[in-house]
């Protein structure tokens, strides 16, 4: 499955979330390749339940942990672990209920915008929010991406030139 396919699966499961990280950056025009999906989810009980059920159906297991150790993907796991890095049959996903530099889900939702890819609509963290999150995370890969994201933000703030009117050739008599 693709990362976009994972987003579709979560949206179809009615999970309230905001896509953050590399997929959100791509939605804003970033050329950087990402190999996982990062989402901030609404920690409300029903939403947490839908997320846990979807991840369990995908066979979610803790990424970087020795295979075979006991792990149950359920609401309790999400409630007690605010950030989880998981591998699933669909691909890698990081789920969290807050984003460093932005805040809890309500703050992330407020600092997001809706995007449409084909027939799929979902919310992504704004460029300004991504920049704040990457600065706060202070990981080398995040800091390395800041110049590109800042340039995209600057470009998005510039007025767009008016498109010249289309000219039609004169009608022949």
In a domain, 166, yes or no: no
SS3 60: coil
Structural domain count, the chain: 1
> Mean pLDDT in the chain?
91
In a domain, 23, yes or no: yes
DSSP annotation of 132 = H
SS3 53: helix
Residue 77: which domain range? 3-145
Task: Output the domain CATH number for residue 62.
Answer: 3.30.460.40
> How does 135-146 read in b/e, with b if 16+ C-beta sit within 10 Å?
eeeeeeebeebe
Q: Which of 4-8, 53-57, 60-64, 137-141 has the lowest mean pLDDT?
A: 137-141
In a domain, 63, yes or no: yes
Q: In whole angstroms, what is the distance from residue 103 CA to residue 108 CA?
A: 6
16-61 pLDDT tens trace: 999 999 999 999 989 888 899 999 999 999 999 999 999 999 999 9
Query: Got the DSSP string for 63-124?
Result: TTS-TTS----SHHHHHH-SEEEEE-SS-EEEEESEETTTEEHHHHHHTEEEEEETTEEEEE
């Amino acid at each position: 499955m693709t990362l976009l396919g994972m987003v579709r699966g979560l949206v179809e499961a009615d999970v309230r979330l905001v896509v953050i990280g590399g997929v959100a950056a791509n939605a804003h025009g970033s050329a950087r390749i990402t190999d996982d999906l990062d989402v901030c989810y609404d920690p409300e009980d029903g939403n947490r339940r839908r997320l846990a059920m979807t991840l369990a159906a995908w066979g979610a297991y803790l990424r970087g942990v020795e295979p075979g150790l006991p792990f149950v993907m359920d609401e309790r796991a999400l409630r007690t672990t605010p950030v989880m890095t998981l591998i699933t049959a669909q691909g890698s996903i990081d789920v969290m209920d807050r984003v460093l530099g932005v805040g809890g889900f309500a703050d992330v939702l407020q600092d997001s915008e809706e995007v449409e890819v084909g027939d799929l609509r979902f919310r992504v963290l704004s460029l300004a929010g991504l920049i704040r999150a990457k600065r706060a995370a202070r990981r080398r890969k995040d800091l390395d991406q800041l110049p590109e994201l800042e340039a995209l933000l600057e470009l998005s703030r510039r007025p767009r030139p008016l498109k010249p009117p289309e000219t039609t050739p004169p009608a022949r008599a």
